[in-house]
Amino acid sequence: MSTADTAAERLLERASDVIRRLLDHPLLWLAPALLALAVFQLYPMAEAILMSLTNESLIRPSFEFVGLEQYVRLASDPQFWEMIRITAIYAFFSVVLHVLLGLVLALAIDYGVRRGLRGHLTTRVSVLLAWIVPGIIIGLVWKVMLVESQFGAVNHFLGVLGIGPVPFRSDPTLALISTIIAGTWRGTAFTMIMIYGGLQRVPQRLYEAARVDGAGRWDRFRHVTLPQLKPVLFITTVLVTIYALNTFDLIFALTGGGPGRATQVLALFMYQEAFQDYALGRGAAIAVVMLVANLLLTGVYLYAFDVGDEI
Partner 1 sequence: MTERKGSLTRRKALLAGGAVIAGGLGGCADTGEQAETSEYGESDPMVTHERFGKGATSLTYQTSTFYTPIESESDQPAAAPALKTQHEEWAENHPDYRIEVEYPAFGEWKNNLLTSAAAGNASDGSTLDSKWVADFYEYLQPMNDYVTDIDDFFPFVRETAMRDGDLLAAWKYTGCRCLYYRQDILDTYNDGDPPTTWEELLTVGQDIVENEDMDAYMFQSSTALANLPYFWSSGGTLIDDEGAPVLDRSENRQALVAALGFIQDLVDTGVTPQRVASIEEVEALPREGRAGNLAMFVGNNDQIERNLKNPIEQADDIPDDRWQRWKVAKIPRPTDGEHTTGVGGWTEGTFIEGDSGEAAAMKEFIAKFVEPEAMGRYCEAAALLPTRESVFNDSDLYDPDTPYQDRFREFLQDGVARPARPIYSTIESEYVVAIENVVTGQSDPESAADAMIANVNEEYEAS
Tell me how many residues contact partner 1 (CB under 8 A).
Answer: 37
Contact call for residue 64 and partner 1 (CB under 8 A):
no
Contact call for residue 160 and partner 1 (CB under 8 A):
no
Taking the C-alpha atoms of residue 278 and residue 238, their distance in angstroms, rounded to an integer, is: 31
Nearer Cβ to partner 1 (61/308): 61
Helices (H) and strands (E) counted in the chain, each on its own, are 15, 0
Contact call for residue 162 and partner 1 (CB under 8 A):
no
x/- contact string, 252-271, with partner 1 (CB under 8 A)?
----x-xxxxx---------
Instruction: Specify the stretch interacting with partner 1 by CB under 8 A; choose among 21-29, 72-80, 185-193, 301-309.
Output: 72-80
3-state secondary structure of 29: helix
Cβ atoms of 188 and 101 within 8 Å: the answer is yes
Contact call for residue 275 and partner 1 (CB under 8 A):
yes
Contact call for residue 144 and partner 1 (CB under 8 A):
no
- The least CB distance from residue 170 to partner 1, in Å, is 4
x/- contact string, 33-52, with partner 1 (CB under 8 A)?
--------------x-----
Nearer Cβ to partner 1 (112/167): 167
Nearer Cβ to partner 1 (231/256): 256
Contact call for residue 159 and partner 1 (CB under 8 A):
no
DSSP per-residue codes, 208-234: HHHHHTT--HHHHIIIIIHHHHHHHHH
Taking the C-alpha atoms of residue 54 and residue 274, their distance in angstroms, rounded to an integer, is: 13
Cβ atoms of 178 and 146 within 8 Å: the answer is yes
Q: Which residues contact 266 (CB under 8 A, 6 or more apart)?
A: 83, 84, 87, 245, 286, 289, 290, 293
- The least CB distance from residue 143 to partner 1, in Å, is 9
**Closest listed residue to residue 283, CA positions, set 58, 91, 65, 62:** 58
Nearer Cβ to partner 1 (48/215): 48
Taking the C-alpha atoms of residue 284 and residue 228, their distance in angstroms, rounded to an integer, is: 40
Instruction: Identify residues 191-210 at the interface with partner 1 (CB under 8 A).
Output: none
Give me the residues that bind partner 1 (CB under 8 A), please: 47, 55-61, 63, 73, 77, 79, 147-151, 165, 167-172, 256, 258-262, 272, 275-279, 282
